[in-house]
Amino acid sequence: TTTPCRESTSVDSTAGCQLLSMMDASQGYHQIPLAPEDQSKVSFVTSKGTYCYVVMPFRLKNAGATYQRLMDRMFKSQIGRNMEVYVDDILVKSRSSISHVEDLREAFTILRTFGMKLNPSKCAFGVKAGRFLGYIVTERGIEVNKDKVQAILDMTPPKNIREVQVLTGRIAGLSRFIARAAERSFSFFKLLKKKAFQWVDEAQMAFEKVKEFLSELPLLTKPEPGDELVLYISVGIFSLSSVLLREAEGAQQLIYYTSRVLQGAETRYSEVEKAALTLVLTARKLRPYFLNHVIIVRTNFQLGETLGRPTVSGRLVKWAVELSEFSIKYEPRRAIKAQALADFIQEGTKAESKKWMMHVDGSSSARGSGIGVVLVSPEGEQLDFAIRMGFKASNNEAEYEALIKGIQLAIGGGATEIIQDLLAQFGNVLAEPKGLPSRRSYEHRIPLIDKGRAVHVHPYRYVHFQKVEIKKQVSEMLESRLIQHSTSPFPSPVLIEKKKDCNTPLIR
């Protein structure tokens, strides 16, 4: 089988050519002689005696790789220029029909030099479209193999696990053309996890929708050297999807769809982490595109800022390092021009609103000032932060600092909504006269926390039974960690930070 990287580059470089010639080597493996000392290792016994191969037989573990190395060495001056070779499939391509005869002559000269024989019944010369690596390549672009589509359309509802596996495998073979293929196949993947097979209504509906979608698959194009490619991502509850495209002459042309089902703990990631994971997985699968082009990621997630300052999750640090080798720009999502792309964005599962619980407290005394923050993610994960302030602050100023720092930390985790017990915890702060300098300066800073991002902070009086325990924990962090410098352990890790002055969050 082909690797995604080699497959994509070979197919892309073939699309757009005026004339193609496809050739197939006759019993390709048997055209490679075996070294005499290795012939005894591939011997076999028959009723008439013991025999051995003098040429490379089929079914050897390294036969395909050995044959590919031979073809790469034979056509090293032509591969990528006017030829593409994958094992015994040979394709001669010409940008201009005038040069095709010369391109064929060059290929035949090399074949004759090495004594390589072709199978005439599997050769086609001077055609405008041809099948290569499972795709139909034409001068217009890359088209889906209609035989693969028809194989799915002719299927009846699966009756056992094996038939479900066949269905998902066939859909995977067309995934480059299918927007959100993993999401469309999720009902089938759920059946594979069950011990007893049962074809449910949900799977039947998904089966019918897949067939309906396959009736009109898009034409894909290839990027040109120097193109800046655009990437859109879609984050679902159970799957991740992306689409890569190029923009030319005011039109958006599709290049590649990717998708994958979320696995295990990935389903509990925050939305921004899912978006970052989508970008990482796409970069891995489409590595040649990311290495050879500038990638513009258009998304409403704050990926650039999050990956640039990954302060909440260690996995974001790892992903940021992995993506650092590529030239990636981040832009807000714009208007969609291509209809297929509009469907990808519109039909994508809408991200659930990520509501974070925030408990904060500020304290000021003769011994010093500090703030404590406890964040509870939508998945129930609790994060504790303690900050000692290196400047004098009143109680109200400390509580302002606690509020601002809590919002910043929640935004870093991907929060779009923050539920904070403002009425109970900030009653004194909000009641402070608006004309006082302390309140005026902090009111000016709150909108600057994350410019251009819609984050809603909801005042809410908690009735949760853990409220007293959480507030007690915040107070303990302030007293024990910040004032007395105690080393006594806490039930969960506490991140400790020192804040130099009241403007620290705004200085980069």
Mean pLDDT across 109-124: 90
Distance CA 180, CA 185 (A): 9
Which helix (H) or strand (E) is 153 found in, with range?
Answer: helix 146-153
Distance CA 188, CA 124 (A): 39
Residues 235/271, Cβ–Cβ less than 8 Å:
yes
Q: Answer yes or no: do 176 and 67 share one domain.
A: no
In the prediction, which pLDDT does 4 show? 55
| pLDDT bracket for residue 466 (50, 70, 90) | very low
In the prediction, which pLDDT does 325 show? 94
Token pair for residue 28?
Answer: 């390709």
Q: Answer yes or no: do 317 and 364 share one domain.
A: no
Q: Answer yes or no: do 203 and 232 share one domain.
A: no
Mean pLDDT across 359-372: 75
**Domain for residue 448, yes or no?**
yes
In the prediction, which pLDDT does 309 show? 72
Last residue of a domain, one of 105, 139, 173: 139
Q: Answer yes or no: do 366 and 459 share one domain.
A: yes
Q: How many domains does the chain have?
A: 4
| pLDDT bracket for residue 326 (50, 70, 90) | very high
Give the chain's end-to-end CA distance (angstroms, integer). 49
| pLDDT bracket for residue 507 (50, 70, 90) | very low
**Domain for residue 293, yes or no?**
yes
| pLDDT bracket for residue 3 (50, 70, 90) | low
| pLDDT bracket for residue 312 (50, 70, 90) | low
Cβ atoms within 10 Å, residue 446: 12
| pLDDT bracket for residue 446 (50, 70, 90) | very low
**Domain for residue 364, yes or no?**
yes
Q: What is the CATH number of the domain that holds 464?
A: 3.30.420.10
Q: Answer yes or no: do 399 and 343 share one domain.
A: no
Query: Is the pLDDT higher at 285 or at 429?
Result: 285
Q: Answer yes or no: do 359 and 478 share one domain.
A: yes
Residues 395/362, Cβ–Cβ less than 8 Å:
yes
Among 274-278, 482-486, 494-498, whose mean pLDDT is lowest? 482-486
In the prediction, which pLDDT does 279 show? 95
Q: Answer yes or no: do 121 and 178 share one domain.
A: no
**Domain for residue 404, yes or no?**
yes
In the prediction, which pLDDT does 283 show? 95
Last residue of a domain, one of 314, 347, 380: 347
Q: Is the pLDDT of residue 487 over 50?
A: no
Mean pLDDT across 173-189: 91
In the prediction, which pLDDT does 379 show? 63
Quote the mean pLDDT of the chain.
78
**Interior angle at CA 428, CA 426 and CA 433, nearest 5:** 115
In the prediction, which pLDDT does 293 show? 94
Q: Under DSSP, is residue 360 helix (H, G, I), strand (E, B) or coil?
A: strand
Give the pairing type, strands 142-143 and 228-235: unpaired
**Domain for residue 8, yes or no?**
yes
Domain limits for position 168: 146-213
Among 59-68, 113-122, 483-492, whose mean pLDDT is lowest? 483-492
Distance CA 73, CA 76 (A): 5
Distance CA 466, CA 52 (A): 77
Distance CA 340, CA 219 (A): 10
Q: Answer yes or no: do 291 and 203 share one domain.
A: no
Give the pairing type, strands 89-94 and 83-86: antiparallel
**Domain for residue 222, yes or no?**
no
**Interior angle at CA 153, CA 147 and CA 154, nearest 5:** 90
- The proportion of the chain whose per-residue pLDDT surpasses 90, expressed as a percent, equals 30
In the prediction, which pLDDT does 480 show? 53
**Domain for residue 218, yes or no?**
no
* pLDDT tens digit sequence for 58-102: 888 888 888 889 899 999 999 988 999 888 788 999 988 899 999
Give the pairing type, strands 328-331 and 382-389: unpaired
**Of the candidates 407, 375, 350, 333, the residue with the CA atom closest to the CA atom of residue 477:** 375
Q: Answer yes or no: do 197 and 119 share one domain.
A: no
In the prediction, which pLDDT does 499 show? 52
Q: Answer yes or no: do 12 and 135 share one domain.
A: yes
Last residue of a domain, one of 166, 187, 213: 213
Task: Kindly provide the residue ranges of all beta strands, DSSP E only, lying in 284-342, ordered along the sequence.
Answer: 294-298, 328-331
Among 231-235, 260-264, 311-315, whose mean pLDDT is lowest? 311-315
Query: Is the pLDDT higher at 276 or at 335?
Result: 276
Distance CA 200, CA 222 (A): 40
Sign for the pseudo-dihedral over CA of 193, 194, 196, 199: negative
In the prediction, which pLDDT does 354 show? 58
Token pair 């070294």: residue: 35
* pLDDT tens digit sequence for 368-405: 777 788 877 776 677 777 777 777 777 777 777 777 77
Residues 274/235, Cβ–Cβ less than 8 Å:
yes
Residues 6+ apart with CB under 8 A from 216: none
Q: Answer yes or no: do 335 and 360 share one domain.
A: no
Q: What's the whole-model pTM score?
A: 0.64
Token pair 């769809």: residue: 257
In the prediction, which pLDDT does 291 show? 93
Q: Answer yes or no: do 377 and 472 share one domain.
A: yes
**Domain for residue 219, yes or no?**
no
Q: Is the pLDDT of residue 133 over 50?
A: yes
In the prediction, which pLDDT does 363 show? 72
Q: Is the pLDDT of residue 252 over 90?
A: no
From residue 310, give the alpha-carbon distance in Å to each of 232, 294, 313, 356, 508: 22, 23, 6, 18, 14
Query: Is the pLDDT higher at 110 or at 444?
Result: 110
- The proportion of the chain whose per-residue pLDDT surpasses 70, expressed as a percent, equals 74
In the prediction, which pLDDT does 149 show? 93
Q: What is the CATH number of the domain that holds 133?
A: 3.30.70.270
| pLDDT bracket for residue 452 (50, 70, 90) | very low
Give the pairing type, strands 355-365 and 328-331: unpaired
Q: Is the pLDDT of residue 143 over 60?
A: yes
* pLDDT tens digit sequence for 255-311: 999 999 999 889 888 888 899 999 999 999 999 999 999 999 998 888 888 888 755
**Interior angle at CA 421, CA 398 and CA 310, nearest 5:** 65
Q: Is the pLDDT of residue 6 over 70?
A: no
